[in-house]
Homo-oligomer: A and B are copies of this chain.
């Protein structure tokens, strides 16, 4: 069963290690969700995760995914991509970064953070609070939607 093409198993082994390092039990739902997000990449909603796992023949209940993403986020293994109101999107990245959201198609792209760690922006001194994170959302039209808006002549 240790075939060279069984890449899914590699992601699951990594997931188990990461979970233990974070002091969390390596339960089946946690391993499945974390390795899915590492393997598939991108920004996924809870229901997308449920659907992707179902398609792969490893169905788990929706509520379990909510539990898992909440625990993994608290352990900094996942981050929730702030892309405005609406459903939450999760991703399994390692480095701090920001997001671009297209007003046309809703597509979300990662935007590298100049600092690479948080907090990357200085909060104004007038703000009386302990800031530990500054997340930026860039909005506009992506390279595919921009031409379509302002007249589609090249």
Contact = CB atoms under 8 A, between A and B. Distances in A.
A15 B145 CA distance: 34
Contacts of A85: 80, 82-83, 85-89
Among A109, A111, A114, A143, the most chain B Cβ lie within 10 Å of the Cβ of A111
Interface residues of A, number: 38
A86 B80 CA distance: 12
Given A128-B143, A133-B140, A136-B136, 19 more contacts: A80-B84, A82-B85, A82-B137, A85-B85, A85-B88, A85-B89, A100-B127, A100-B131, A102-B129, A109-B129, A112-B126, A129-B142, A130-B141, A130-B146, A132-B139, A133-B139, A134-B138, A134-B139, A135-B136
